[in-house]
Amino acid sequence: MASLRIRLDRLTKALDNVVGAADEAIAACRAVPVPDDDQTLLDLVGVRKRLAGQAESSSDAATLPIDDVEPALPHKQPLRSPNPLLKLPCEIRNQIYESLFASTKLVYGKRIFPDIPKQRMKPASNSLAILRACRLINKEAGAIWLNLVLFSFETIEDALDKLSPLPAATLAQIRNLRLGGRSMKLRSIGYADDVCSRLVWTLKLLPELRLNKLTVLGRLEWRVAYDTLDGMIKYGHGWEELHFLTPNSNMLGFANFEPYWRKPQPKTWNDVLLKRDGADSGSTVTIYIATQPDTPGAVLNPSTRQFIEQGPCGKNTKSYWDGRLLSSSEGNKELLVIVKRGRHVDIGEQANPRYPIGQDIRRWQCGQTWAEVRHQYLSPVTKDENEEVEVDTYKDVDEYSWNAVV
């Protein structure tokens, strides 16, 4: 018994040493100096040389595997003792990398705040500081960070600005993406009215995406939110799971009128998805409503949400509306719609898809890059040196605010 107690004491001390070394290692890595300027994702995946016109050709860089590219490291690093993280076993280091990156969010774009103009957001300068700790850590962690961090963009335009220049092989390794659900408004050449392109179509400008989870913060305008989600379920590609959030339940309560025809959910969407993926594919659409009103994030917590399912609309579809979901007591409760694609389904964009006429934004892209499309149909990206930039802060990687959604 005494020998067993001694062994347990030794094991406890060893575990305490491991935990202490891990904490020390992470603190040391986060303290690595990182430039204060807004690092682009091009810098972070190490393709700066290609864009500067140096040795690699664009075709070579586009196929470069992620474990062969490194974030920029100092040419000459001062001599110092080995990083504390390297004292730990490789298996524990990998768990630390995974935990660190899974709790990291990289935010880009202009966010709307109450009573102030749009504020450009950027991630904290030490978000990926561990990749600059030393070359060995960079090699170990550099192969997995794209799979684990959450990329969060205020609008689809912000996402395209950052992601479209990246090599296809890099885009294909991003697994978690969050977007604002606003449509893209394009200047229409030769027509009086602008053209609004829903999220499902603008995402097709990034056909290389293979996401585990796409999160969309839906519009406050519930009819547009419903139409956006409806399009994603019918025609969306590039994701295994879609988590579509709205700040209220109005999306499932409004009365029908052209062109917005609401149907009983989630049954209708389930039928659509099973038709796409196959009756035995296991595709599902599930809807939750928060039990607490006016509480951002409540619907993400299983203890503060409940399942919701609507009944049939009957013969008179024009009068189909749900006053309960529009009431002041229920209307301010968040909705979460979780869409899961089926087993063994190819989530990639199809070669010759059958989409509604005039909807696929790539049909009139005519081989242009995103920068050229933006310049012609929106506005080119400009950088104001005097523009104030807000560094994103968060306690939980999944937290969000509805102030930024219009």
For residue 185, what pLDDT is reported? 83
For residue 82, what pLDDT is reported? 73
For residue 188, what pLDDT is reported? 67
| Token pair recorded at residue 347 | 């989530």
For residue 242, what pLDDT is reported? 99
For residues 43 and 229, give the distance between their C-alpha atoms in angstroms, rounded to a whole number: 33
Question: How many other CB atoms are found less than 10 A from the CB of residue 388?
Answer: 9
| Token pair recorded at residue 146 | 């794209």
| Token pair recorded at residue 167 | 């090599």
For residue 79, what pLDDT is reported? 45
Task: Work out how many domains the chain is built from and give that number.
Answer: 1
Which residues, 6 or more positions from 384, have their beta carbon under 8 angstroms from its beta carbon?
none
For residues 92 and 96, give the distance between their C-alpha atoms in angstroms, rounded to a whole number: 6
Instruction: Look at residue 391 and tell me if it is in a domain.
Output: yes
Residues in the chain predicted with pLDDT less than 70, given as ranges, are 1-81, 113-117, 188-193, 255-260, 313-323, 326-329, 364, 380-386, 403-406
The DSSP string of 259-275 is TB----TTHHHHHHHHH
Residue-wise pLDDT for 219-271, tens only, equals: 878 889 999 999 999 999 999 999 999 999 888 887 666 666 788 899 999 99
List C-alpha distances in Å: 69 to 97, 174, 274.
17, 15, 40
Instruction: Look at residue 55 and tell me if it is in a domain.
Output: no
Radius of gyration of the chain (CA): 24
The DSSP string of 244-307 is EEESSSGGGTPPPBTTB----TTHHHHHHHHHHH-TTS--EEEEEEESSTT-TTGGGSGGGEEE
Decide if 265 contacts 300 (C-beta within 8 A): no
For residues 150 and 103, give the distance between their C-alpha atoms in angstroms, rounded to a whole number: 8
Instruction: Look at residue 39 and tell me if it is in a domain.
Output: no
For residue 295, what pLDDT is reported? 93
Nearest Cα to 336, choosing from 239, 233, 190, 217?
A: 217
Instruction: Look at residue 2 and tell me if it is in a domain.
Output: no
Instruction: Look at residue 3 and tell me if it is in a domain.
Output: no
For residue 262, what pLDDT is reported? 81
Tell me which residue range forms the domain holding 387: 73-404
Instruction: Look at residue 35 and tell me if it is in a domain.
Output: no
Decide if 179 contacts 153 (C-beta within 8 A): yes
Decide if 206 contacts 151 (C-beta within 8 A): no
Phi, psi of 212 (to 5 degrees): -75, -40
For the four alpha carbons of 164, 166, 168 and 173, in that order, the dihedral sign comes to negative
For residue 321, what pLDDT is reported? 60
Angle at 131 between CA 127 and CA 133, to 5 degrees: 105
For residue 195, what pLDDT is reported? 77
Which residues, 6 or more positions from 362, have their beta carbon under 8 angstroms from its beta carbon?
204, 205
Instruction: Look at residue 9 and tell me if it is in a domain.
Output: no
Cis peptide, bond prior to residue 266, ω within 30 of zero: yes
For residue 53, what pLDDT is reported? 41
For residue 57, what pLDDT is reported? 37
3-class SS of residue 196? strand
For residue 145, what pLDDT is reported? 96
For residue 190, what pLDDT is reported? 59
For residues 396 and 276, give the distance between their C-alpha atoms in angstroms, rounded to a whole number: 35
Decide if 304 contacts 257 (C-beta within 8 A): no
For residue 37, what pLDDT is reported? 45
Instruction: Look at residue 111 and tell me if it is in a domain.
Output: yes
